Amino acid sequence: MRANLSWWTCRRDSAGVGLLRKFDLIVIGSGSGLDVAVAAAEAGMRVALAEKGPLGGTCLNRGCIPSKMLIHSADILEELKGAKRFGVDVKSYTVDYASIVDRVVSYVDGESKSIEESLSSSENPVLYKGLCRFTGIKQVNVQGETITAEKILIAAGSRPKIPSIKGLRESGFITSDEALRLRTLPDSLTIVGGGYIAAELAHFFSSMGSEVTIIHRNDLLLNNEDQDISSSFTKIASERFRLFLSSEPVSVERTHQGYRVLVRNLKTGMTEDVRSSQLLVATGRAPNTDLLDVGKTGVTLDERGYIKVDEYLETNVPGIFALGDVIGRYQFKHAANLEAEYALRNILEPERKEKVDYSAMPHGIFTSPQIASVGSTEQHLRSLGVEYIVAKWRYIDSGMGKAIEDHEGFVKFLFERDTMKILGCHIMGSDATTLIHEVIVAMKGGGTAFSILDSVHIHPALSEVVQRAASNFHLHR
């Protein structure tokens, strides 16, 4: 490597042998951690960046980007299939599934390779490609070399969580990692899990032509969403997929025809065989802390294996910070990007540290229909004993909602009773992930219902449904 000799220290590593290469900052993970590494280097710090997988992190390689590119193809197919209700008769079309996947893989791999090539020729930050482990206090071994720094940022992300099911691990199942690169479209697909990853992939594969079955432990899909969203989405999904709700897989068997999953209903105890040509496990995410041996550097984990950090993203070990999926707060790329801004500031200026402001943190689910949410759910407010006001409006009762024939969509507001402050907003329907941003901006400024009501909305743009929802309130105690 090309760094000058002043980057080395004569202090031996924890094993008592070899020299340590000393940096000002070590960043583990090249997702949002990459932004911190590059910015810190530009600020004059000597930075090492360690990454075991493709450059760009989960979002670029195994998450947001490839999934949304695939889902866009699914959305186009839905438009084609529904075109007749608008007087457009699409006589015929073909789906080139392999081409759809190749487009995504080519783009993602190209972007990742470009990042790696740029970093490989960089003297600062210095790229270490490979799995790294802590070997002592603020000591990291990667590529057979031990490096150290007074400040370390752990942004190592997460991976699919695999449940304990008899026969599962030896069955050859896939997770979202493999599903986003699956070269052959399965005739039938069983999905274990009912969260947002399961919902998005069910939408994609069903649109492509797969028969989809979902097995979920809860009564409702997307059960972490507001009750009206999860209830409405489950009803829609039941008309599109085969659902086994309040159910769990007991065992998995690989057969010549595909997969056999024995499913037990948690309420009745009855079992049923579910057969499909492919099996996808989408039961959540697990932090990558176990791969890093973080205990050897003294960092404390919670009972689920996530790194404990304070309001400044600093761990119990001064100088070691963490962000993103590995801390388990908000497992969204936009949340990790926000945390990266604070982590950089707090690393560069420790005497002027700032607490992370998570207010009005939104999220979106790119299924069909789209779902977007910000703030509290109704069930959460009830659990707190908060007096709140509900305000709702259906898409179909607005001009553009009728134009696009969206009969399922709605906007739901939750307001504080006395002040009309916006406590939450939940949208299901066309362009939900775009419409929510008006509410995010209002909430970030401490807005009330009148922040929405007093703003002039273009008629008959779809955003009118947000304004109309804000006006249609009634008291809930």
Task: Give me Rg for the CA atoms of the chain.
Answer: 25
User: Biggest alpha carbon distance in the chain?
Assistant: 77
Among 32, 7, 3, smallest CA distance to 149 is for 7
Enter the tokens of residue 438: 């008006």
Residue 135 region by backbone torsions, left for phi larger than 0, else alpha for psi between -120 and 50, else beta: alpha
Q: Which pairing describes strands 320-322 and 145-154: parallel, antiparallel, or unpaired?
A: parallel
Please answer whether residues 258 and 100 qualify as being in contact, where contact means their C-beta atoms are separated by less than 8 angstroms: no
> Helices 64-81 and 196-208 meet at what angle, rounded to 10?
50
Distances (CA, A) of 191 to 257, 259, 330: 17, 11, 24
Instruction: Pick the catalytic residue from 72, 459, 474, 476.
Output: 459
* DSSP assignments along 363-431, one per residue: EEE-SSS-EEEEE--HHHHHHHT--EEEEEEEGGGSHHHHHTT-SS-EEEEEEETTT-BEEEEEEESTT
Integer Cα distance of 405 and 399 in angstroms: 10
Enter the tokens of residue 389: 């006001």
Distances (CA, A) of 26 to 16, 139, 327, 389: 21, 10, 17, 48
Enter the tokens of residue 203: 């939408």
Distances (CA, A) of 133 to 141, 289, 380, 439: 5, 10, 39, 43
DSSP 223: T
Active site residue 457: no
Which residues neighbour 148 within 8 Å (Cβ) at sequence distance 6 or greater?
9, 11, 13, 20, 21, 22, 23, 26, 138, 139, 140
Active site residues: 459
